[in-house]
């Protein structure tokens, strides 16, 4: 079995992403910004790396935020046109392909990476990544009671140099 932590560290440090989403905050969270990078890996799965600044820790004492891929890549109008969670298999929450791990903030900053076999780069292009004000409870249907959409970015192909 291959040493995945070495492989993933190599991908993150030596390759450009295959797709990116530039996250911007809503009107109440203008300092929220960040980048989510998506990399192709073995078996058409993806590696996702996130760096985000300006999460509203003063309002969310837990420092946990919901993060999901939504159906539509439309982050205009306070993110009201992003649709529901991306769910091509029509399964219950939290088994949607668009259900992502929660963000864990430290004084408004997040850096994290994870591996996902439920998504491919090609299927997520032109969808959106939405950051929610509260953590996902992984129970409430249809979307985990994660609250208001406070950040959004459209997933776009990254053009390699």
pLDDT (tens digit, 9 = 90+) per residue, 121-146? 999 999 999 999 988 888 888 777 88
Phi-psi region of 95 (alpha: psi -120 to 50; beta: other; left: phi over 0): alpha
The answer to whether residue 98 is domain-embedded is yes
Distance CA 10, CA 142 (A): 37
**125 phi, psi to nearest 5 deg:** -60, 135
C-alpha Rg value of the chain to the nearest Å: 15
Give the chain's domain count. Answer: 1
Decide: pTM greater than 0.85. Answer: yes
Residue 8 lies in a domain: no
Domain residues for the domain of 102 are: 16-157
Residue 82 counted as domain residue: yes
Dump pLDDT digits (tens) for 94-126. Answer: 888 899 999 999 889 999 999 999 999 999 999
């Amino acid at each position: 079995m291959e040493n995945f932590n070495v492989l993933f560290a190599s991908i993150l440090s030596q390759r450009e992403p295959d797709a990116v989403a530039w996250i911007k905050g809503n009107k109440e969270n203008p300092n929220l910004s960040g980048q989510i990078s998506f990399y192709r890996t073995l078996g058409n799965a993806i590696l996702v790396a996130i760096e985000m600044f300006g999460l509203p820790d003063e309002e969310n004492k837990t420092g946990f935020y919901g993060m999901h891929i939504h159906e539509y890549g439309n982050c205009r109008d306070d993110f009201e046109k992003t649709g529901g969670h991306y769910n091509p298999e029509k399964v219950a929450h939290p088994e949607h392909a668009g259900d992502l791990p929660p963000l864990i903030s430290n004084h408004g900053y997040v850096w994290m990476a994870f591996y996902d076999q439920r998504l491919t780069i090609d299927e997520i292009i032109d969808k959106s990544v939405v950051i929610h004000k509260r953590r996902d409870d992984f129970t409430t249907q249809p979307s985990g009671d994660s609250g208001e959409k406070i950040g959004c970015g459209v997933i776009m192909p990254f053009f390699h140099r």
